[in-house]
Structure 1
Amino acid sequence: MTATVTVIGGGYAGITVAKALDDVADVTLVEPRDTFVHNVAALRAVTDPVWVERLFIPYEGLLTRGRIRHDRAVRMFGSAVELGSGDRVTSDFVVLATGSRHTYPAKLDVDDSVDARAKLWATHEALSRAPRVLLLGAGPVGLEFAGEIKAAWPDKHVTVVDPAPELMPGGFPAEFRAEVHAQLAALGVELLLGTALTAPPPTAPGHTAPFTTTTSAGAELSADIWFACYGAAPNIGYLVPGRRLDVTPELRLPGSDTIFALGDITSVPEMKMARAAQRHAEVAAANIRALIDGQTNLTAYEPAHDAIVLPLGPHGGVSYAPEAGVLGPEATVGIKGGLFLDAYLDLLGAEAAR
């Protein structure tokens, strides 16, 4: 009999593992959204509406034998998954790949693609009317968003605030941070590190309305719109709310031979990024294929060293990997200028939106 696999979550890890197993198993992918959302391009879609349509890619071309169920997991009972519809799904293997939540617009917070498109357009219009922009958080999201805003509207004043004393803490060399600082300065981005706001802004995020706020250093900041660019959290409320899942080297839940967990929901010690989630998926798919074939010698996942490709607008950015060192804007644009759209169109069996 054909082995059955249920994949919970249709993000980067979920689509990769489902596609990889479609030829050897009866795969069901459970995902509440009506289309795949290419979150890597979400910030550019806010500043450049050409990307709004490109962001949403149909699932229909992903699987040849398997199926997509537009539903969500609400709880698990061993290897059985209860869905929001009330159905309970059981299978030989379960892959948990529900990713993470983040503040909008880094990740969209509505499931329906029509509503999501409308929200992106509304945010673009609100941002276009705001001469002064405040971004809270100087991690990859805040810095990338600052670069996208300045590329689209060079005359806007963009301020980025973060309580951390330096940019991008972690395994990045000083040369990387120096290049990020230099490019932000050339764009005219104001960077305030080692300080925070004494209270949240008085307006809702993403809405245009002038306001003034104060930092813990005593400085007054005036802006017309603001966005929170921090707050990633694992989307794992159906199992263990609020914390990431420990996994074995083979990416299985401890004590289980048939339940795998991938991507942002795991406690694997590495940066939570789409490419890492897809590497998890490749290892998990290889291990499930081996188990289906009756093998016991499985592949162990090796956590990746800190590395990043950080766009700062369509024509700028900084990259770093231990094997390549620090790369400037030309190389970064060469790597990520198209935001990897073609790769996901190919994976999902879709054509580029026109």
Structure 2
Amino acid sequence: MGSTVAIVGGGYGGAALARRLDPDFDVVLIDPKDAFVHAVAALRGLVDADWAQRIYFGYEGLFSRGRHLRDRAVEVDAGGVTTAGGTRVDADYVVLATGSSYPYPAKPDTEGSADSQTRHAATRAELAAASRVLLLGAGPVGLELAGEITEQWPDTEVVLVDPADDVLGGRYLPELRRSLREQLTARGARLELGSALTAPPSVPPGMHRPFSVTTAAGVRIDADLWFRCYGVVPLSDMLHGELAAARRPDGHVEVDEQLRVAGASNVFAVGDVTAVPEPKRSKAASEHAAVVAANIRALAAGRPAEQTYRPGEDAILVPLGSTGGASQVPGPEGPMVLGAAETVRYKGDDLLLGRFAELFGTSA
């Protein structure tokens, strides 16, 4: 169709969109990383050296005609993108797929895959030496990391602290929370819920060094390594000009039913950065990409963008290592909870690696 599409961000939504549009558009995927990171499997990569090498996919596998521009976007407007290196990419269509940041190790904090693997290896060695690990946050990341640690090092004591009264915030069924609590407790994990720490640990996260902390309820916790497992921050500060008005105070970007950025006819957003009221998951980002691809094709053909996105029901898959976990999925009569075996079948053992290997045209 001869139109240029600038996609800012090469995560789940951006990569899926680039693959969909590449055959017919001049796609420029702008991302400072040298490879796609399968963040769903990052926690498995932290504890398992083999997995640490399997979660990266080169962007070249997405394209037959498009390209990956390894640079960071600093200004995004309706006419294109300006990068930190001074490159200007003029585009007929712009898509914000920048996602969100999250504390390491849930998301790597380096832009090079080799550096990321080196970082994982160093942290893995620290973890292997630790006997007591503190995880701040009992949401999906904290639960999954607890599952990975207790599977890899069964003798390591894991303590999860969260000011919420139960694990896994959000609109999920009590049976789901109960299953996750019971499985973690059976693995020897300890849950300190309903009270925050009075002060953060005195040592940097991921470093093996003994410390003590106390909760507001007066519970003392001794540990020798800790991680922060909360703190999603949407990445949207590069919006410029009239697009900046669509950025909410929390960083999320307002979009309409066609996933167009509010106030722009040719600018779209997908994935975690959007203000769509739904859990921020890789599946949703891929579904966003399908809607935006259809709308860009329609606009390029002179038709209106009519494909709409409707948030689905709350659903989540929470593996606890390769053998445990629980999930909530839509059922014929409402949401239903799946146990460990079903969760492993859907996500736990493979962590969806095969699906993304196929997307990037390589082996898992």
TM-score norm. by structure 1 comes to 0.97
Correspondent of 2:344 among 317, 333, 339: 333
- C-alpha separation in 2, matches of 1:322 and 1:15: 26
Alpha-carbon RMSD across the aligned residues, in angstroms, is 1.2
8 Å CA contact retained: 1:236, 1:242: no
**Which residue is 1:216 aligned to?**
216
Are 1:292 and 2:303 counterparts? no
Give the superposition deviation at 1:297. 5.0
How many angstroms apart in 1 are the aligned matches of 2:219 and 2:344? 36
Query: In the TM superposition, what whole-angstrom CA distance separates every residue of 1:94-146 from its partner, at most 9, and x where no partner exists?
Result: 01101110000000111011111100000000000000000000000000000
Report the equivalent of 1:148: 148
* 2:237 match: 237
Aligned-residue offset at 1:322: 2.6
Query: Does structure 1 retain, via aligned residues, the 8 Å contact 2:26–2:65?
Result: yes
Equivalent positions of 1:85-104 (< 5 A) are: 85-104=85-104
Instruction: Give the match's secondary structure for 2:109.
Output: coil
Count of residues paired in the alignment: 352
Deviation at 1:80, TM superposition (A): 2.4
Greater CA drift, 343-352 or 147-156: 343-352
Which amino acid in the other structure matches residue 341 of structure 1?
L
2:242 — aligned with what? none
Q: What does residue range 301-320 of structure 1 map to in structure 2 within 5 Å? A: 301-320=309-328
Structure 1 residue 242, shift from structure 2 partner: 4.9
Q: Report the residue type matching 2:316 in the other structure.
A: I
CA deviation profile, 1:139-159 (whole Å, cap 9, x unmatched): 000000000000000011000
Q: Distance in 2 between matches of 1:175 and 1:74?
A: 45
Q: Which amino acid aligns with 1:113?
A: S
Secondary structure of 2:227's partner?
strand
Q: Which moved more, 1:167-176 or 1:16-25?
A: 167-176
Q: Counterpart of 2:265 in structure 1: which amino acid?
A: D
Partner of residue 14, structure 1: 14
Partners of 1:293 and 1:29 lie apart in 2 by 22
**Equivalent AA in structure 2 for residue 253 of structure 1:** V
Residue identity (%)? 48
Report if aligned partners of 2:237, 2:251 keep a CA contact under 8 Å in 1. Answer: no
Aligned amino acid, residue 329 of structure 2: A
The one-letter code sitting in structure 1 at the alignment partner of 2:350 is G
Distance in 2 between residues matched to 1:102 and 1:340, nearest whole Å: 20
Counterpart contact for 1:201–1:213, Cα < 8 Å: yes
Alignment of 1:1-354 (within 5 A): 2-239=2-239, 240=247, 242-296=250-304, 298-323=306-331, 325-336=336-347, 337-352=349-364
CA distance in 1, matches of 2:85, 2:159: 44
SS at match of 1:6: strand
Instruction: Specify every segment of 5 or more residues in structure 1 that has no aligned partner in the other structure, as ranges.
Output: none
Give distance in 2, aligned partners of 1:136 and 1:314: 22
Tell me the TM-score normalized by structure 2: 0.94
Per-residue Cα deviation, 1:172-193 (whole angstroms, up to 9, x for no partner): 1111111111111111110111
Which 4+ stretches in 1 moved above 3 angstroms? Answer: none
Cα distance in structure 2, aligned partners of 1:67 and 1:191: 47
Q: 2:235 touches 2:251 (CA, 8 Å); kept in 1?
A: no
| Amino acid corresponding to residue 195 of structure 2 in structure 1 | T
Instruction: Specify the code of the residue in structure 2 equivalent to 1:79.
Output: G
Deviation at 1:33, TM superposition (A): 0.4
Secondary structure of 2:61 counterpart: coil
Distance in 2 of aligned mates of 1:242 and 1:80: 24
Q: What's the secondary structure of 1:120's corresponding residue?
A: helix
Aligned counterparts of 1:322 and 1:245: Cα–Cα separation in 2: 27
3-state SS of paired residue (1:217)? coil
- What SS does structure 1 have at the residue aligned with 2:42? helix
